[in-house]
Amino acid sequence: MDPVKVGIIGCGYISGTYLKNSKLLKILDVTACADLVPERADKRAQEFNIPKACSVEELLNDPEIEIVLNLTTPDAHYKIARASIDSGKSVYNEKPIAIDLTEGEELVNAAEQAKVLLGGAPDTFMGGGIQTCRKLIDDGWIGEPVAATAFMTCHGHEGWHPNPEFYYKTGGGPMFDMGPYYLTALVNLIGPIKSVKGSARITFPERTITSEPKHGMKITVDVPTHVAGVIDFRNGAIATIITSFDVWAAQLPRIEIYGSTGSLSVPDPNTFGGPVKILRMGEQEWSAVPLTHGYTANSRGIGVADMAQALRSNRTPRANGHLTYHILEAMHAFHKASLEEKTIFLDSNCARPEPLPLGLFDGTLDS
C-alpha cells in the first residue's frame, strides 16, 4: 500500500508528538509543514527531516498532498479545514472539529460533496486500553450496557500552562477541552447519543495565572467551568458525566460501564493504555484484564494513519466527521441544556466506530 502524503498546518507543541509517531506509521509520508510563524515550520522541518517548510497557501496548493493534518488553535480549525476541503484534500483536525456548531455541520457536508475524508481527534479510543474494553463489551462480558459514569475533575490550567487564557474563553472550558475524550470513548463503547440534560456554572468569574511567563495576569472567565450532565443513549443506556475546572481533589473513577451482568472499569480516555478491570455477576473482587490490543503508549497520530488507510482502502475512517460532529453537538447541548433548563435532543447521529482487529502489526490499523 503506497504511503499517503500529508501536510501539517500548525507547528506548535503538539506537532512534535504527531511527527515523532508518524515515523512509526508507514502509511504516512509527511512531506510539508506550514505555520503562521515561519520559524516554527522551519524548526519542525529540520528536526524531523520534512522535505518542505512553506506557507499555508503553498501547502494547500501542493497537488501531491492528500491529507492536511490541521494542528492549529481551535479558533482556526474551521477556516483551515474548509480551505483544505476546497483544495480537494482530506483533512484531520485536532479537537474539536470546529467551535461553532453550524460550521462543524458545514464541514461534514462540504467534505461529502467534495468526496474527501473528514475526521479528527481524539484518537485515544483506538488505543489498547479502550479497544480492550470495546472487545469485552462486544463479546458480552458485562451483558447489555445499562449505565455509565464519566468524571474529569481538576482545578484548571492557570497554575501550570504558559498560556492558559484560551481555556476560559469560547471554545474552552472543561467540556470543550476534555469532553471530547470522554464522550468519544462513551460513544465508541455504548453508541450514539439521543439527548442530554445538564447544569453548568462559572464558579470563579476571574482567575489569576500563577504559571510563568504570565504570573499575576487576571483572566475573565467566559465559559462554564463546572458541567454536570445526564446522557440518554439511543440504545437506552444512561450515563452521568462531570467535567470540571473547579475541583481541587477527587477520588472518582474516570469511566465505568455498568452492564446487566457485570461492571467494567475503563482507563483514562486521555491516554492510550490501561489499566482495565472487570467485576462480573457472582464475583466479589475486581479482576485486571490483560490488554488485547496494541497502541498502548502515547500513540497520538493513529487517527491520521487510520484516515490514510481508509483513503487507500475506500472505507470510512474510525475517527470520522460524523463522529466528531456528533461529539461537538453533544458538548454544545450540555451548555444549552443548562441555559434553557430543558432536555436537548441531538439532531446528529453516527455509527459506533469499527473496532480494531486483533493481532495488528505495529504501524498498521487494518488486518
Question: Residues 156, 243: contact at Cβ < 8 Å?
Answer: no
Residue 72 has pLDDT above 90, yes or no: yes
Residue 13 has pLDDT above 90, yes or no: no
16 burial level (CB within 10 Å; 0-12, 13-18, 19+): middle
Q: What is the pLDDT of residues 153-183, one digit of tens each?
A: 999 999 999 889 989 999 999 999 999 999 9
Question: Residues 165, 223: contact at Cβ < 8 Å?
Answer: no
Q: Phi and psi at residue 118, in whole multiples of 5°?
A: -130, 140
Q: Sheet holding 238-244: strands in order across? A: 287-288, 277-280, 262-266, 255-259, 145-153, 238-244, 226-233, 193-201, 344-345
Round the CA-based radius of gyration of the chain to a whole number and report it. Answer: 20
User: Which whole number is the average pLDDT over 201-221?
Assistant: 97
Average pLDDT, the chain: 97
Cell readout for 144 is: 447489555
1: confidence class by pLDDT, cuts 50, 70, 90:
confident
Q: What is the pLDDT of residues 142-156, one digit of tens each?
A: 999 999 999 999 999
Separation between Cα atoms, residue 325 and residue 329, nearest integer Å: 6
**DSSP for 200-229?**
EE-S-SEEE--SSSSTT-EEE--S-SEEEE
36 burial level (CB within 10 Å; 0-12, 13-18, 19+): middle
Residue 30 has pLDDT above 90, yes or no: yes
pTM: 0.96
Question: Residues 94, 70: contact at Cβ < 8 Å?
Answer: yes
Residue 68 has pLDDT above 90, yes or no: yes
Residue type, 289: V
Share of the chain above pLDDT 70, in %: 100
Tell me, what DSSP letter sits at residue 349?
-
Q: Phi and psi at residue 355, in whole multiples of 5°?
A: -65, 155
Catalogue all structural domains in the chain, each as residue range(s) with its CATH number: 4-120 (3.40.50.720), 125-288 (3.30.360.10)
Share of the chain above pLDDT 90, in %: 96
